[in-house]
């Protein structure tokens, strides 16, 4: 399946290999999924976490949490492009470990 095919249909599950490959090639993950909190840091992927579903969880430095209001989302999108945030992504460590346990 070509990568563009994924955008043309809904899938119940991507499967582990497709999911990891998408993380590696994505620019940002937006939503309130635990994958943004748990896995995205290992791929050095920026995350905009919307709402408080993940409230109380430890987050890595790749996660920007917003309340879902238009202004806070716009600010997060601008932050993604800042030199400081880009540098932070290069050095991010996953708060949940390096996957070698």
Residues 6+ apart with CB under 8 A from 14: 6, 22
Q: Which two tokens stand for residue 82?
A: 């800042």
| pLDDT above 90: residue 99 | no
What pLDDT was estimated at residue 25? 92
Pick from 21-25, 47-51, 71-75, 97-101: least confident: 97-101
| pLDDT above 80: residue 101 | no
Q: Which two tokens stand for residue 43?
A: 């791929």
Average pLDDT, the chain: 88
């Amino acid at each position: 399946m070509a990568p563009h095919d994924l955008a043309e249909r809904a899938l119940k599950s991507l499967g582990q290999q497709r999911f990891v490959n998408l993380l590696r090639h994505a620019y940002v993950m937006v939503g309130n999924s635990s994958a943004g909190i748990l896995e995205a840091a290992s791929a050095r992927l920026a995350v905009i976490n919307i709402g408080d579903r993940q409230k109380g969880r430890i987050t890595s430095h790749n996660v920007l949490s917003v309340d879902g209001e238009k202004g806070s989302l716009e600010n997060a999108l601008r932050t993604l492009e800042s030199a400081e945030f880009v540098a932070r992504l290069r050095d991010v460590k996953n708060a949940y470990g390096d996957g070698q346990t």
